[in-house]
Amino acid sequence: MITAVIQVPYDSGQRERRMGCGPAALLRRGAVDRAAAAGGEAVAARIDTDEAFPGEIAVAFDLARKLSGEVARARRQGAFPLVLAGNCISAVGTLAGLADVPRLGVVWLDAHGDMNTPETTESGFLDGMALAVAGGHCWQQLAARIPGFRAIPGAATLHLGAQVLDPGEADLMLRGAIATIPGPELRAKGAAAIGEALERLAREVDAVYLHLDMDVHASAEAKANAFALPDGPTPQQVRAIVEAVVQRLPVVAAGLAAYDPEHDRTGSTADAALSLIEALVRSVAARR
């Protein structure tokens, strides 16, 4: 299997700042080689914006348009797209590039809901709206300009690992029928917590995009960024969860996001990320 490792090194419209430094840091530590060793072969690509005056919203959707094309190209060539991104909003471009999948779903690992909208957000952080954009709940005009974009139904979405939800997020997830399993439950039960949810999701979809925000991990064991929280699963549990997802559902692309090397003082989070890449690619290759 060929893994197409696609780097999107941006955070809030800024190149290689804060979490935007994460993709390059993982590449320096051998992410492409780890993917190749696990799957057979790997190639690297990078997405950059052409925005002359970069602003967070404009850059995010420009990158999504380009990423959609790169993911679709990788699919046509028979490769498995693996996106290393600064922000979770990159998932919107990846999902659009999977337009050839008839019933596409999402498994989203994240300590946060990412289900805010411009009307509900308390921070103004666009990345906190990533899953809401993917579900068609906001920024609809800009999303419609991404080639291949279509809204992912709530019934085709499984959110794993949330530790905090703003009131508007919780309401939108409930109204959208998005299945959720919180971080403390994952920490208590590990992969055993997700079995029934995966079975329900399997009835709704043909394949899924797997999203890994690195702050899904417990911050004491793998601190991904400034937003990391304490009550998430361990790196070993997250790896087992990823393997369980791939075993039950066809995973047609994945994204790993929100790793800020500045907060990884011991290197444990980079180690967890590389281990996840290896486990993910090996599992997908074995299923193929």
* CATH assignment of 2-287, among 3.40.800.10, 3.40.50.510, 3.90.1150.10, 3.90.700.10: 3.40.800.10
DSSP H/E element including 175: helix 167-175
Both tokens of 116, joined, read: 């805010």
- State the residue for tokens 């400034």: 226
Q: How confident is the model at residue 54 (pLDDT cuts 50, 70, 90)?
A: confident
Please say whether the beta carbons of 157 and 135 come within 8 A: yes
**What is the pLDDT, as a whole number, of residue 6?**
98
pLDDT at 52 over 90: no
SS3 192: helix
pLDDT in tens, 93-129: 999 999 999 999 999 999 999 999 999 998 999 999 9
Q: Looking at this protein, which amino acid is placed at residue 75?
A: R
Please say whether the beta carbons of 124 and 231 come within 8 A: no
DSSP 16-70: TSGGGGHHHHHHHTTHHHHHHHHHSEEEEEE-----SS--HHHHHHHHHHHHHHH
pLDDT at 272 over 90: yes
Beta bridge partners of 182: none
Average pLDDT, rounded, for the chain: 97
**What is the pLDDT, as a whole number, of residue 232?**
98
* Cα distance between residue 94 and residue 65, in whole Å: 9
pTM over 0.95: yes
Render the burial of 271-286: b for 16+ CB within 10 Å, e for the rest: ebbbbbbbbbbbbbbe
pLDDT in tens, 158-197: 999 999 999 999 999 999 999 999 999 999 999 999 999 9
Both tokens of 81, joined, read: 């797209």
Q: Looking at this protein, which amino acid is placed at residue 104?
A: L
**Interstrand relation of 14-15 and 10-11 (parallel, antiparallel or unpaired):** antiparallel
Q: How confident is the model at residue 288 (pLDDT cuts 50, 70, 90)?
A: confident
pLDDT in tens, 21-31: 999 999 999 99
Rg (CA), the chain: 17
pLDDT at 257 over 90: yes
